[in-house]
RNA sequence: GAGCGAGUGGUGGAAUGGUAUACACGACGGACUUAAAAUCCGUUGCCGCAAGGCUUGUGGGUUCAAGUCCCACCUCGCUCACCA
């Protein structure tokens, strides 16, 4: 056949039209139940889960769907690898937005939620996500929240849920209390209005009981380090001591918490939080008015004002004194708002010598500052030589600069320093060194640090390790007359004298001893680090760490101190004064007290109401529904009232991942065998914003369930991955209010289709990186799909089986294909989707070039095999087009049920290797060699290269580095 | 202020200590077209006509060899923020 005839007979190539292909396959997948999974499989299980989304009233944008695209690609890859993949989706649908919408419009939260769910699901369906929709969950479905309520009673029975009257964050706008985690810089996390405090009787979960395990188990899970750090900081474990201080003339004593019991000899006053109960009893009549005025003023301040950290310290003396149990000394007791009632005991011993806040306070109110820890700087060395030494900082008061010596490469800028000679005072040494090294003579002593610094260093110029005790002094220049320097031989000409400003010092002086001297002498900083004890009686000379242990042991024996661990984390406030949540399943009976609703009476269903306004008295709208509130007591049958608070939405998301394992169970929240089969979640994917809330709560519930024998594991999410945010093309966050959102729907509509969108979501950057969306960028993904389509369609349509073809082109094609399989496989294992897709683009580009030498039509057999592999490699990201191509290649089963291809290492070996030739580390030439060329062959070839000869300039290499397959490096002098 | 992360072309980005700038966007040139779009083929870090030289935030160090490892600094992003 001639080519002219051919083109008139062969029908034109089938056009790639995502708009017809995508809905077609979505329907077929649903009909054939392609993504439904069951436990009865001999394949290894894998559970890939997205964070539980809240279906808001605004459609998802391309940033939201990045999360689902990543997890879907991963799920599809794992299925192809032969794993039994659970990949479910559901709705975390309780919450304020739906309720506030109801208040505004009268549309019930139920109705709004159902609409939003439908919209979100529709969006995900159009994206071709491979969820097992038979397991879809809705946390607002009574069949689901029945079990959330069941867990509440489960916690109640175990003493892990309790009720307490306490002051709590209160959002006036949303008319509800908030958990600590939900207050961000003094504002409500939902409406961003300032929050206040309100005293209410509230339900709590005792998460603090699990603080140690929540901390320790972080070590064993594969989570981003940043998230683990945030959780560690949030839990905020600090171990220290609780100590009792007697109060002069009172029976009551003062309890304090400190992590630095070693500094107790340096305590010079005590501070109570303004809310501290003892204040009323210990304040003397003379100070009463002042203290009351202070506390009143404090309470009148908003919490946001009180949380300002750069505020000047304020406080008032109470007139009372405590006795330092270690020294017997008298310590004035002050009240100040920098001490927080919620942490420790709400009272501290103040050690202004070693705590920056206490020092700031002491300076302001002229209280004594006593150092009891000598600073230690530098790294201790073996067998050090001991010397006494000085650091002298000389200020020129005229322009506020400081004299420094620049040693260049030998150590940068330092101040004047030197060893003390026998019989010399520190001040004499300083004056001598200043004159010798700089020639200045007329200076006056300003101040000396009260504690000598112990410094360890290696003196390179003398070749010895040294431990020195250093007296640090500040001098001022009285006039600028200089005499000649008198330098030691090894110092002459090696340094220059420079006058530096404070800002320059911060940049240029890096020596720990000199910088620390400057910070303490000039900037008034205190030493908060470790060191050697002084002024502390029998503990003098011990390291601060040793003293901490010794004192704790001694003081514990003496009966006035005890070891104590404190957590920053508080118990989880679970009650909310809102309608749209799971009712707390509790009934208050006058006779029986607080009674849990029995399991067989669950769920406590939300009544339908028409008025969603909060009741205005700090109770939820449910309080207004009399026939729902008034019920007989489950225990005595007498008159009783239901609890009207509902649960925080985070209760639902603390266990939903277990329900996916067994979503239809009406006897239990889940069957243990099913839960133990599917869980823990293998890969959990979502944004970093849930670092401390959901992820901490879910870990807590999992541990409670494990302790209760409901499951056989203690961590819910083995691996966690955070996807980065997609910003709008303008670089700002996508937001309805900026009008810069881009939705997946509009991109699919513009004929790009879901596959191009999915591909671009993954190609745009590494998945964890924040990146602005590029409107034109998606063209590249779309073009690539069209090119892949043409290639595979050409192969599918071809029928030839040429015997006499281009063998070297075929080898090349197979080599490139197998390299691509290897690269794509490795990249998917590490979720490097962007480079996996780049490798596929390279392969298609290469195939386009090779089909010139090895035409497709007569070589159909070769190209069809290549096309099949390419189609499978592409399937995880572009599930629709690959399904269509797979069918056109003659398959009747789904490409998503195919097997992931393996690569053959033998086929990857290239027939020519390129070796770079370096001279002194610079690439000067490349040589082409056979893969089996020996080292000496290659070196000989390299030395013969014209560019190499020219650059060697007749020199003979003194050394030759050979890295097989990579480089040859000739070292010449 | 503290902790964590990141600085590579015009842009998004690539690179087990071994040929920096893969892949893509954009731009430019060409083919096809009556024309445009689409498509296909090229060019594209900087300086230079070229030979060649220079280049991964800045400065230093380790190494035969540094974007990569070490030290200091600068800038940006995120998180926490008086937690004793």
Q: ipTM for the complex?
A: 0.95
Q: How far is the CA of A248 from the C1' of B5 (A)?
A: 52
The pLDDT of residue A427? 92
Strands A913-919 and A967-971: parallel
What residues pair up with A445 in beta bridges, in sequence order?
A475
Weakly modelled stretches of chain A, pLDDT under 50? 1-9
**Closest nt by CA–C1' to A314:** B82
First to last CA, chain A: 68
Q: How far is CA A492 from the centre of its chain?
A: 52
Residue A786 vs residues A18, A759, A878, A889, A926: alpha-carbon distances, Å: 10, 13, 12, 16, 36
**Closest nt by CA–C1' to A236:** B83
What six digits make up the tokens of A51?
Answer: 């964070």
Q: Name the residue closest to the C1' of B73 by its CA.
A: A507
Q: Does the C-beta of A766 come within 7 A of strand B?
A: yes
Determine the Cα–Cα distance for residues A124 and A53; give it in Å rounded to an integer: 12
A826-831, long-range: CB within 8 Å, 24+ apart, which pairs? A828/A73, A828/A74, A828/A77, A828/A876, A831/A70, A831/A74, A831/A721, A831/A767
Cβ–Cβ under 8 Å, residues A325 and A256: no
Determine the Cα–Cα distance for residues A678 and A658; give it in Å rounded to an integer: 9
The pLDDT of residue A516? 84
Determine the Cα–Cα distance for residues A369 and A263; give it in Å rounded to an integer: 12
Q: Does the C-beta of A238 come within 7 A of strand B?
A: yes
Q: CA triplet A24, A25, A28: central angle to 5 degrees?
A: 95
Determine the Cα–Cα distance for residues A329 and A763; give it in Å rounded to an integer: 69
The pLDDT of residue A491? 60
CA atoms within 13 A on the CB side of A809: 17
CB atoms within 10 A of CB A684: 23
Residues 916-935 of A with CB under 7 A from strand B: 916, 918, 920-923, 926
Q: Name the residue closest to the C1' of B3 by its CA.
A: A229
Residues 836-875 of A with CB under 7 A from strand B: 837-838, 841-842, 845, 848-849
Q: Does the C-beta of A637 come within 7 A of strand B?
A: no
Residues 435-494 of A with CB under 7 A from strand B: none
Backbone angles phi, psi at A696, to 5 degrees: -80, -45
Q: Does the C-beta of A185 come within 7 A of strand B?
A: yes
**Closest nt by CA–C1' to A569:** B83
Determine the Cα–Cα distance for residues A936 and A942; give it in Å rounded to an integer: 10
The pLDDT of residue A8? 40
Give residues with Cβ within 8 angstroms of A113, minimum separation 6. A55, A91, A93, A98, A138, A140
Measured N-to-C along each axis, helices A142-157 and A694-707 cross at an angle, to the nearest 10 degrees, of 60
**Closest nt by CA–C1' to A780:** B24
**3-class DSSP state for residue A873?**
helix
Residues 246-275 of A with CB under 7 A from strand B: 257-260, 273
**3-class DSSP state for residue A323?**
strand
Give residues with Cβ within 8 angstroms of A376, minimum separation 6. A453, A454, A455, A456, A529, A530, A531, A532, A543
Q: CA triplet A271, A273, A274: central angle to 5 degrees?
A: 120
Q: Which helix (H) or strand (E) holds A318?
A: strand A316-323
Q: How far is the CA of A510 from the C1' of B74 (A)?
A: 15
Residue that the structure tokens 């939620």 belong to: A113
Q: How far is the CA of A642 from the C1' of B30 (A)?
A: 81
Q: Name the residue closest to the C1' of B84 by its CA.
A: A258
Q: How far is CA A498 from the centre of its chain?
A: 44
Q: Does the C-beta of A779 come within 7 A of strand B?
A: yes
Q: How far is the CA of A561 from the C1' of B2 (A)?
A: 30
Backbone angles phi, psi at A71, to 5 degrees: -70, -30
Which DSSP category does A161 fall into?
A: E
Q: Name the residue closest to the C1' of B14 by its CA.
A: A835
Strands in A84-86's sheet, in edge-to-edge order, are A84-86, A45-50, A681-686, A717-722
Q: Does the C-beta of A342 come within 7 A of strand B?
A: yes
Q: Which nucleotides of B are covered by protein (CB under 7 A)?
A: 3-5, 11-16, 18-20, 22-26, 38-42, 52, 54, 60-61, 64-66, 71-74, 77-84
Determine the Cα–Cα distance for residues A792 and A787; give it in Å rounded to an integer: 9
Strands A416-419 and A330-335: unpaired
Q: CA triplet A505, A507, A509: central angle to 5 degrees?
A: 55
Nearest to A831 by CA among A728, A720, A689: A720
């Amino acid at each position: 056949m001639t080519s002219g005839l051919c083109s008139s007979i062969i029908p034109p190539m089938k056009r790639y039209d995502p708009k017809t292909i995508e809905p077609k396959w979505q329907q077929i997948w649903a009909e054939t139940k392609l993504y439904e999974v069951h436990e009865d499989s001999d394949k290894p299980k894998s559970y890939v889960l997205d964070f539980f989304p809240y279906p808001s009233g605004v459609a998802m944008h391309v940033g939201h769907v990045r999360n689902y695209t990543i997890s879907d690609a991963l799920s599809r890859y794992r299925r192809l690898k032969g794993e039994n993949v659970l990949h479910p989706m559901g709705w975390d649908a309780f919450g304020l937005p739906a309720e506030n919408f109801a208040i505004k419009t009268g549309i019930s939260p139920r109705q709004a939620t159902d609409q939003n769910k439908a919209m979100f699901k529709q969006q995900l369906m159009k994206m071709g996500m491979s969820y097992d929709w038979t397991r879809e969950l809705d946390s607002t479905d009574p069949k689901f929240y029945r079990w959330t309520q069941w867990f509440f009673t489960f916690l109640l029975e175990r003493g892990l849920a309790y009720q307490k009257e306490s002051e709590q964050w209160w959002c006036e706008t949303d008319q509800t209390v908030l958990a600590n985690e939900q207050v961000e810089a003094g504002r409500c996390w939902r409406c961003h209005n300032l929050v206040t405090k309100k005293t209410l009787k509230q339900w709590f979960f005792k998460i603090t009981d699990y603080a140690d395990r929540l901390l320790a188990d972080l070590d064993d899970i594969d989570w981003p380090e940043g998230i683990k750090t945030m959780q560690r900081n949030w839990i905020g474990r600090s171990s220290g001591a609780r100590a009792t201080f007697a109060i002069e003339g009172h029976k009551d004593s003062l309890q304090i918490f400190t992590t630095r019991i070693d500094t107790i000899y340096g305590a010079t006053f005590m501070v109570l939080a303004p809310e501290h109960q003892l204040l009323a009893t210990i304040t003397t009549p003379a100070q009463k008015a002042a203290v009351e005025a202070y506390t009143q003023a404090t309470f009148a301040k908003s919490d946001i004002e009180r949380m300002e950290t750069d505020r000047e310290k304020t406080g008032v003396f109470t007139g009372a004194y405590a006795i330092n149990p270690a020294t017997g000394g008298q310590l004035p007791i002050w009240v100040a708002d920098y001490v927080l009632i919620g942490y420790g005991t709400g009272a501290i011993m103040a050690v202004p010598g070693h705590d920056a806040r206490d020092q700031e306070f002491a300076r302001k109110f002229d209280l004594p500052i006593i150092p009891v820890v000598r600073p230690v700087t530098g790294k201790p060395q073996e067998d050090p030589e001991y010397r006494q030494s000085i650091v002298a900082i000389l200020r020129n008061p005229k322009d506020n600069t400081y004299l420094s010596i620049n040693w260049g490469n030998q150590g940068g800028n330092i101040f004047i320093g030197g060893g003390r000679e026998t019989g010399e005072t520190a001040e004499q040494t300083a004056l001598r060194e200043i004159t010798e090294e700089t020639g200045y003579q007329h200076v006056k002593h300003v101040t000396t640090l009260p504690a000598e610094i112990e410094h360890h260093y290696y003196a390179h110029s003398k070749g010895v390790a040294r431990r020195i005790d250093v007296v640090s002094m500040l001098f001022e220049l009285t006039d600028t007359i200089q005499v000649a320097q008198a330098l030691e031989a090894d110092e002459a000409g090696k340094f220059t004298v420079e006058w530096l400003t404070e800002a320059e010092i911060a940049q240029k002086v890096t020596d720990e001893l000199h910088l620390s001297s400057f910070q303490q002498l000039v900037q008034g900083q205190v030493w908060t680090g470790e060191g050697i004890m002084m002024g502390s009686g029998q503990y003098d000379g011990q390291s601060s760490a040793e003293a901490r242990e010794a004192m704790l042991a001694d003081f514990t024996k003496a009966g006035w101190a005890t070891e104590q661990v404190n957590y920053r984390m508080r118990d989880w406030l679970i009650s909310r004064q809102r309608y749209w949540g799971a009712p707390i399943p509790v009934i208050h009976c006058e006779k029986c007290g607080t009674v849990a609703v029995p399991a067989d009476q669950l769920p406590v269903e939300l009544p339908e109401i028409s008025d969603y306004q909060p009741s205005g008295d700090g109770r939820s709208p449910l309080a207004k529904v009399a026939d729902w509130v008034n019920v007989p007591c489950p225990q005595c049958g007498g008159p009783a009232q239901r609890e009207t608070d509902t649960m925080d939405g985070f209760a639902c998301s603390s266990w939903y991942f277990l329900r996916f394992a067994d979503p239809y169970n009406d006897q239990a929240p889940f069957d243990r065998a099913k839960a133990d089969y599917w869980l823990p979640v293998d890969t959990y994917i979502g944004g970093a914003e849930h670092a401390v809330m959901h992820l901490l709560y879910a870990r807590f519930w999992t541990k409670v369930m494990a302790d209760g024998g409901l499951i056989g594991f203690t961590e819910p999410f083995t691996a966690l991955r955070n996807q980065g945010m997609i910003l709008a093309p303008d670089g700002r966050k996508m937001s309805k209010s900026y009008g810069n959102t881009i939705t997946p729907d509009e991109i699919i509509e513009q004929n790009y289709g879901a596959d191009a969108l999915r591909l671009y979501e993954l190609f745009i950057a590494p998945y964890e990186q924040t990146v602005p969306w590029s409107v034109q960028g998606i063209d590249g993904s779309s073009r690539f799909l069209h090119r892949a389509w043409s290639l595979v369609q050409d192969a599918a349509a071809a029928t030839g089986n040429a015997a006499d073809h281009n063998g070297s082109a075929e080898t090349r094609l197979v080599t490139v294909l197998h390299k691509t399989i290897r690269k794509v496989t490795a990249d998917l294992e590490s979720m490097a989707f962007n480079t996996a897709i780049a490798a596929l683009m390279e392969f298609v580009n290469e195939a386009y070039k090779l089909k010139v030498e090895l035409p497709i039509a007569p070589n159909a057999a070769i190209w069809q095999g290549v096309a099949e592999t390419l189609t499978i490699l592409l399937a995880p990201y572009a599930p629709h087009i690959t399904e269509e191509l797979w069918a056109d290649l003659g398959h009747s089963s789904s490409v998503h049920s195919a097997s992931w291809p393996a690569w053959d290492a033998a086929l990857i070996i290239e027939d020519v290797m390129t070796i770079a030739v370096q001279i002194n580390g610079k690439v000067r030439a490349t040589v082409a060699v056979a893969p089996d060329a020996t080292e000496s062959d290659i070196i000989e070839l390299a030395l013969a290269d014209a560019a190499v000869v020219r650059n060697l300039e007749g020199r003979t290499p003194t050394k030759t580095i050979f890295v097989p397959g990579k480089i040859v490096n000739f070292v010449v002098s």
